[in-house]
Amino acid sequence: MTDFARKLDAAKRSSTAHLLFKCARVLNERAIASLPMSGGKRPRAAHLALFPHIELGKGTRVTELASKLGITKQAVGQLVDDLEGFGMVERTPDPDDGRAKRVCFTEHGESAMLDGLRHLKQVERELSRALGKETVAALHGALTKLHDHLDST
């Protein structure tokens, strides 16, 4: 290992934010990989990245999704096409602009999100077995406080 690699590794391990990002990425990858397949396919991280930006009930325009994710409308359009194929979203007319469409969750998509959260609970049970219930409970408490702080600012 080079001197730079050692310094970089030490800096990463000393950064709470970096560890949080890395753990989130790895957990996300593992959770997605363990999802059941639908029609021989499963959603990818790129698909799931759309979910927090789709306004429940009202939906969100593709252009807004692209802007929030920092990717092209075409890239979002492909992801939406894929999610439509899974039956998770649909394009509906935009009541504010007859030319535009909004991406909305279908009933199946809403159900799949709840299923996904139940799946994450299983991942958490596995973490509890590996790290201990107290550690995972403390982590949950700290992350809840962090979430509430970041959400309020």
pLDDT for residue 149 is more than 80: yes
- Give the global pTM: 0.84
Q: What is the pLDDT of residue 34?
A: 86
Which helix or strand (DSSP H or E) is residue 60 part of?
strand 60-61
* pLDDT range class, residue 120, cuts 50, 70, 90: very high
* pLDDT range class, residue 1, cuts 50, 70, 90: confident
Q: Say if residues 79 and 112 touch (Cβ distance below 8 Å).
A: no
pLDDT for residue 38 is more than 90: no
The structural domains of the chain, with segments of one domain joined by +, span 1-33, 40-105, 107-153
Q: Which two tokens stand for residue 46?
A: 């790129």
pLDDT tens digits along 56-65: 999 999 999 9
- Looking at the chain, the whole-number percentage of residues with pLDDT higher than 90 is 86
pLDDT for residue 35 is more than 90: no
Q: Out of 3.40.50.170, 3.40.50.2020, 3.20.10.10, 1.10.10.10, select the CATH number for domain 40-105.
A: 1.10.10.10
Q: Say if residues 60 and 102 touch (Cβ distance below 8 Å).
A: yes
Q: What is the pLDDT of residue 17?
A: 96
pLDDT for residue 139 is more than 90: yes
d(CA 153, CA 141): 19
Helices 107-131 and 16-33 meet at what angle, rounded to 10? 120
Q: What is the pLDDT of residue 37?
A: 73
Q: Which two tokens stand for residue 61?
A: 């325009």
pLDDT for residue 143 is more than 80: yes
